[in-house]
Structure 1
Amino acid sequence: MGTKGTPMLDSLGHQSPPVDLRTLSGTATLGLAPRPESVRRARDFTRSTLHGWRLPEQFDAVALVVSELVTNAVRHGVGVRPTTFDEEGHAYDGGERSAVELELMRCSGRLICAVQDPSAAAPRVGEMDGVAESGRGLHLVECFSDGWGWRALAGERRGKVVWAVFRTGA
């Protein structure tokens, strides 16, 4: 976790979000294990980051999008790995590396949420089915953000990054 460094979207070229990254005023990054409980951790991280940036009014929409993007990354980008347990039955990380990365970036009048995973497969917007419990994630991202997209990572980095942009009015 950190708030310094080069944003993962810097090298993505023309398919990056429609913002000028030269106006970047803050970044916050969180590595996540490929497990379902990482979605809650991502929401908690988003809440504290937005609070620190004095953008708590953005939390509901951004948290919903973060939840959907992290869920998709865990389910489709890396798959779910079983939780490791110690001798006393307590769950632990087991030293596994972060397979999913959440990055929040604050730019002039914009907030960007980017989720990176190791899969090069393009995200797919599923068919809307009123009774299905899944398949609505990217529809929700589309509805609650001001735009979204994705880009395959280049160079030695493998996988993709899926991003969503929010207007902050600031």
Structure 2
Amino acid sequence: VHIMDYTGAIVGVFDDMQPFYHTHIINSFENGTGVTLDVGVYDTVPFEKSPALVTSLFVDKTARDSAPNRCTVRRLHFHMSGASKGTTTVEDFQNQGRALDFFKVNMARSGLPYCIYYAVEWWHDGVSYANMAILKHDMCKGTRTYWKRPNTYPGEPFFVS
């Protein structure tokens, strides 16, 4: 991971973590010791042949429900100063058997420290891909709350005012 300033100059290179794949960033922000990046990660390439992308697999319930490549949330803190300068702290927020994507943070907190994000969750029951919910995850308190309705398939959450 390369950290760059607004001029495009590289201010840090961090390669001390296991490789991962990602599609969507939740949020990033600076604090007194470095930069924090919260991101949805996959163990393998998310855009490979899978039930999420191939119609014939998607309509096969067995294939769809057994798809192994599930997105989880990872927090990476890139230490830019202090005793840990040049290293990365990695913290995973796994919810076993489930998958998340389409993350949303209140835009008033974009680029700032925050606690809560929202996301779509698949395999909400831990079994069926199409068992979906909207997750509200408070990372500071470690709590998860859900909005769910039977036979309802929510899209990306967003804020309205």
Given the two structures, how large is their TM-score scaled by the length of structure 2? Answer: 0.26
Greater relative contact order, per chain length (Cα 8 Å cut-off, separation 6+): 1
Structure 1 or 2: larger strand share? Answer: 2
Structure of higher CA gyration radius: 2
Given the two structures, how large is their TM-score scaled by the length of structure 1? Answer: 0.25
